[in-house]
Each structure stands twice: as C-alpha cells, then as structure tokens.
Amino acid sequence: MTTALVTGATAGIGAEFARQLAARGDDLVLVARDGARLQAYADELSARHRVKADVLVADLADRAALRAVEERVADLARPVDLLVNNAGFGVNQHFVGGDVEAEQAMLDVLVVAVMRLTHAALPGMIGRGNGGVINVSSVASFIAGGTYSAAKSWCTVFSESVDRSCVGTGVTVMALCPGFTHTEFHERGGMDVSHLPDWMWLDAPDLVRDALADFKHGKPVSVPGLQYKAIRVLTSLAPRPLVRRFSGVRGPDRLRLPSQPAP
C-alpha cells in the first residue's frame, strides 16, 4: 500500500488527484486550509474507495503550518510515496502599485512551500529507492505573464533540475503544466475568463489521468492537452520579444498607481 500527500486537496486539480489516487488504492494525506471541507472529502474518499485518508489543516503561506506539513512528509515511520504540490492561487493585480503582502503570500505558496516540501520528501524516497513528486506548475511558466507566471517558471525549472539530480535513484520529480482548467481557481481569484473560447479549456479528470501516466513514464514535464503542447512548442521556438508581446502583460498606460504628491 502506498501513501500520497496532496496539498490544496479540497477543490479542482488537487481534489481530482486525491480522487484518482484513492481509486487506484493509495492511502492519502490531504492538506488544505478549510478543515471542515477537507475532513468531509477525506471521509467521502475513505468510504468510497476503502483507503485511509488523513487530514492536515494548514495554510502553506504560514511558516509554522508549513513546517508541520514538512515534518509529516519527512516522517520515515509513515512514508509518503508520492507528494503532489498542488496548492496555489493567483493574484489579480498589477505588481507595480499592488498589494505586496498578497504577492508575498502567493510566492510563499507557489515557490517556498514547493521547495521546502520537496526538500523534505526526497531523502526518504531516495533512501527507499522509489517514489516521487508532482509539482503543479502551469503553461504560464513558458510566457511572461506577471508574477504568477514568474513563480510557475521557477516551479517548472526547479522540477526539471531536481529530477535530473535524481537520475538513477528510482525517484521522479515532474512539473505538471496545465492550461485553463474547469476548476474554482479563476472564480476564487476574481478573474474574468468568460471571453475564452471552449477549445482552451481542459477537464480536471482527463488532465490528472494524463499527468499520472506521464509520471509513470518518468517524464520531467507534463503538458496536458494537444492545444497546450502546441503552445509550449511555439513559445520555445518564437523569439522572446514576440512571446513577451503576446503574453498579455499590460503597459504603463494601464497601470493604476497610488497617488503621489506633486513635485
């Protein structure tokens, strides 16, 4: 019996990972901020798939809470065989003139938590000669789409780098880079995506199924959906100035700066 720990497990891609992992017989450790919702989902998965589903309530932007999750991931007496770093959110604002504490919280979850949890998980996995980490990044990591894009770029390159360092150990580290997916993500972030065409959307069940297949085959980067595979190729071949131009970052004339005293 293997155990998977999934962060951000109550909704969207994280919840789908938990569902599919439970369905294949993995025991679970589910991590999220909403304790009541988390426990209800853990109970549902445990009853339906006859697996053990523990919960760990934690806001990964809080260093003390993150430390508790690190300790669980690193516990050799209760080994975690698969770590899914899925927790995340976007900040719908310009960097210049925006709330820097919101930016810090996003960086803490998308970068710091991913780094520290991966660091905590790998020694035990390498010692056992099996296991791995799936870091949920984004196709935004291939463009210049603001601070979210920058954080996800770090996640993708970090995953590739660590996976390379684990060659020959039996451990895989994979960056999962989905595009727009039908989840609560955009609604929670106050983002209007109503203008996007249907072809740009992915469904979480298919996305996770493809991701787990890619992970099984040892791929360091998984890009679900033919449309996003094509976008990855285009962004890798196009001149970087062209990528920046079409990345959707707005110019200075659109910035909403705080009022400043006259000189």
258 assigned to some structural domain: no
260 assigned to some structural domain: no
Q: Residue 146 and residue 17: Cα distance in Å, rounded?
A: 27
253 assigned to some structural domain: no
pLDDT for 91:
85
Per DSSP (E only), the strands in the chain are 3-7, 27-32, 53-57, 82-85, 131-136, 171-176, 221-222
198 assigned to some structural domain: yes
- The parent domain of residue 218 ranges over 3-248
pLDDT for 190:
55
Considering its fold, how many domains does the chain have in total? Answer: 1
The residues annotated as belonging to the active site are: 148
Residue-by-residue pLDDT tens, the chain, 263 positions: 799 999 999 989 999 999 999 999 999 999 999 999 999 999 999 999 999 999 999 999 999 999 999 999 999 999 999 999 999 988 888 889 999 999 999 999 999 999 999 999 999 999 999 999 999 999 988 888 889 999 999 999 999 999 999 999 999 999 999 987 766 554 554 555 556 667 566 889 999 999 999 999 999 999 998 888 888 888 877 788 877 777 765 544 344 444 444 43
pLDDT for 202:
81
152 assigned to some structural domain: yes
CATH number of the structural domain spanning residue 106: 3.40.50.720
179 assigned to some structural domain: yes
For strand 171-176 and strand 3-7, is the pairing parallel, antiparallel, or unpaired? unpaired
Tally of CB atoms within 10 A around 142: 23
pTM of the model as a whole: 0.87
Q: Residue 204 and residue 29: Cα distance in Å, rounded?
A: 20
pLDDT for 201:
64
130 assigned to some structural domain: yes
257 assigned to some structural domain: no
Question: Going by C-beta distance under 8 Å and a sequence separation of 6 or more, which residues neighbour residue 260?
Answer: none
